[in-house]
Amino acid sequence: MAETRGLLIMLLIFSEKLLLTNSKDTNVTCIIFDDCILPCSFKPTGTVVIHWYKQQIPVHSYYYNKDQFGLQNKHFSGRTCLFNSHIPHGNASLLLKRVKVQDKGRYKCYTSTRKGNQEIFVNLEVKALIHSVIMEMTDEMVTCSSHNIYPVPQVTWATDPPSAQEALENSTIKTTDHKGLFTVTSMLKILGNFSNYTYFCSFISADKTQVWTASRKKQDITHEEGLALSIPCIAPHSLQNFSFTWTFTSSNEPTVIFRYDTKTRHTFNLWEGQAELDQDLLLMGDGSLLLQKPDIEEHSGMYTCTFSGLQSRYIVETNINITISSISVDEQSVQRSWWSTAASAAFFLFTIILALPQCIKLRAMEARTASHRYNGAAFVGGGLHKDLNATPSYINGQHEVECNRQLQIEAQGELADIKLTAEECSVDLQPGTKIEQEEKPLLNVLDDTNSDAWGKSHGCILSHLYGYVRPNFEVKFNT
C-alpha cells in the first residue's frame, strides 16, 4: 500500500513537471540590420531566472532581478536586452539589435520559477531585402545586378516582343562580402539590334515575398532642327504610385530637366517653354517628351526617362541627333546666291560710276572731231556730194567709201587710255549694189552719224568696263 502511494506521488510530480515544461518552436524572420524580437513568455510566480542560448552559446542571462553579462558571448555583446518592466508579467522576450547574417539559427529561452522550469525554442531566419536592381545596356550586352541581398535570389529574363527562353542565354555570378551578403550579377547577350527589344530582368527573393523588376530600352533618333520632336517613353506595365524623371546628357554630367511625383503632384521643368509633357497621359504611363524647336547645339545628346515604382524601375534611353534641316540648306544656298548677285551688281555699278565721266568726255571729243572733219558731207566720189542725213539705197559706179574708224582701249592697271585712229578702207561696189545695215555684236557697236547718244555712251561704258576688267582688251567701233 505504501509502495502504491509512493508511485502515485512520483507520477503526480512527473506530470506536474511535464505541464510546467512547455517545449515548442516558433519561427521568426528578421531583416538584416534591423532590430528583431525573439518571443518568450512564462507563468509569473515571483522570482524568475531567464537564460537565452543559441545552440549552447550564452546570449543573455537575467537573475537576481537584473541582467547578467558575465557569461555573454562577445558576438552578442551590446546587442541584446530584455523588457525588464514586463518580466513580472511573464514576458521574457529578447530584443536582438542590428541583426546580422550570422545571427540566424535556433535559440532557446529557458525560464525557471518556484512552479517549475520552461523551455521555448525560436528558429531565427534572416534576410536582406532587394532594395534596387541596376540595369545597364551596351550594344552587345545587357547587365542586371543587385547588392546586399540574403539569401541568394532567383534571376529571370524576358523581352518585349517576347522571345523564346532558350534564346535568352545568360550567365549569373554570385559573390559574398565580409558581412555574408550577396551581390548577384546576371548578363544577357543582346538579340540582334539593340533597339529591337525592351529587356526585363526580375530578382525573386528566396521566400517569394519580393519580385523586383527592371526594364531598359535603347534607341536612336535623327531629327531635323526647328521641327517639333516627340521623344517616346512608355511604361511597359501600369503603375499606381511612381516618380518620373527625364535627364539629359551631352558633354557634361547628366542634368534633370523634368521631374514628377504622383504622391505630391509636384512638377519640375527645367526646360519650360522648350519641352513639355501631357500630365494626363503621364498618369497612364506615357511620359513622352515634346521638344518644341530642337536645336543642334542645345538639344543633341542622350535623353533618359525613368519610371520608379514599388519594386520596379523602367528606363528608356534615347540618343537624339539633331541635323540641319533641308529648308535651312536651301535658304543658305539662296542667301549665298543673293549675296553673289548683289556683289556682282555692286561691282558693275561701281565700274559704271568710274567709267561714265570718261565716256562723257570721250563723246564730246568725238563730236568736235566729227564736226570738224566732215562738216556735213559724208561721201566724195566722181564729183558727186551726198548729205550725211540722206541714207543711200543704191550707188552707181565705183566709189571709195570711208568705212572704218577704230577705237582702241588699252587697259593698263586702273583705267583705260583711249586712243582714236582713223583709217580708210576701199570698198568696190558694183552699180546697183544695195547697202544694208547689219546688226553687230555688243562690242562691235555701229557708230554711224545716225547712232544716238544712248548707244554711243553705252558702247563706251562697256568698252571701259571690259578694258578695266580685262587689261589689253581691244574694243572696236566700226562706222
Per-domain residue ranges of the chain: 23-127, 130-221, 225-315, 347-469
What per-residue confidence (pLDDT) applies to 238?
86
Question: Among candidates 123, 102, 116, 100, which has minimal Cα distance to 29?
Answer: 123
Q: What is the CATH number of domain 23-127?
A: 2.60.40.10
The answer to whether 244 touches 259, Cβ cutoff 8 Å, is yes
- 373: which residues sit within 8 A by CB, 6+ positions away? none
Q: What is the CATH number of domain 225-315?
A: 2.60.40.10
pLDDT, average across residues 180-195? 92
Question: Among candidates 362, 358, 355, 360, which has minimal Cα distance to 469?
Answer: 355
Q: Regarding predicted confidence, which is higher, 221 or 447?
A: 221
Q: Mean of the per-residue pLDDT values for the chain? A: 77
- 450: which residues sit within 8 A by CB, 6+ positions away? 389, 391
Position 193 confidence tier, pLDDT thresholds 50, 70, 90: confident
The answer to whether 22 touches 121, Cβ cutoff 8 Å, is no
Interval 425-441: pLDDT, tens: 334 444 444 444 444 44
Radius of gyration (C-alpha) of the chain in whole angstroms: 54
DSSP 479: -
User: Which of 53-62, 63-72, 272-281, 465-474 has the lowest average pLDDT?
Assistant: 465-474
Residue 235 cell numbers, joined = 511604361
The answer to whether 396 touches 455, Cβ cutoff 8 Å, is no
CA 96 – CA 76 distance, rounded (Å): 8
The CATH class given to the 130-221 domain equals mainly beta
Indicate whether 105 pLDDT > 60.
yes
CA 417 – CA 362 distance, rounded (Å): 11
pLDDT over 70, % of the chain? 65
Q: Decide whether 130-221 matches 225-315 in CATH topology.
A: yes
Residue 44's φ and ψ, nearest 5 degrees, are -70, 125
DSSP 91: B
Q: pTM of the entire structure? A: 0.62
The answer to whether 59 touches 40, Cβ cutoff 8 Å, is no
Indicate whether 472 pLDDT > 90.
no
Interval 282-315: pLDDT, tens: 999 999 999 999 998 889 999 999 999 999 999 9
Residue 474 cell numbers, joined = 581691244
pLDDT over 90, % of the chain? 55
- Residue 221, strand partner residues: 320
- DSSP letters, 172-215, are EEEEE-TTS-EEEEEEEE--SSGGG-EEEEEEE-TTS--EEEEE
Residue 140's φ and ψ, nearest 5 degrees, are -120, -20
Please give the single-letter amino acid code of residue 323: T
Report the range out of 27-31, 295-299, 409-413, 468-472 with the highest average pLDDT: 27-31
Compute how many other C-beta atoms are within 10 angstroms of the C-beta atom of residue 196: 13
What per-residue confidence (pLDDT) applies to 19?
39
Q: Is the peptide bond before 161 cis (omega within 30 degrees of 0)?
A: yes
Indicate whether 412 pLDDT > 50.
no
Provide the edge-to-edge strand list for the sheet that holds 141-149.
134-137, 141-149, 182-189, 170-176
- Residue 414, strand partner residues: none
Position 139 confidence tier, pLDDT thresholds 50, 70, 90: confident
Residue 281 cell numbers, joined = 497621359
The answer to whether 226 touches 294, Cβ cutoff 8 Å, is yes
The answer to whether 304 touches 314, Cβ cutoff 8 Å, is no
Indicate whether 254 pLDDT > 70.
yes
pLDDT, average across residues 145-149? 96
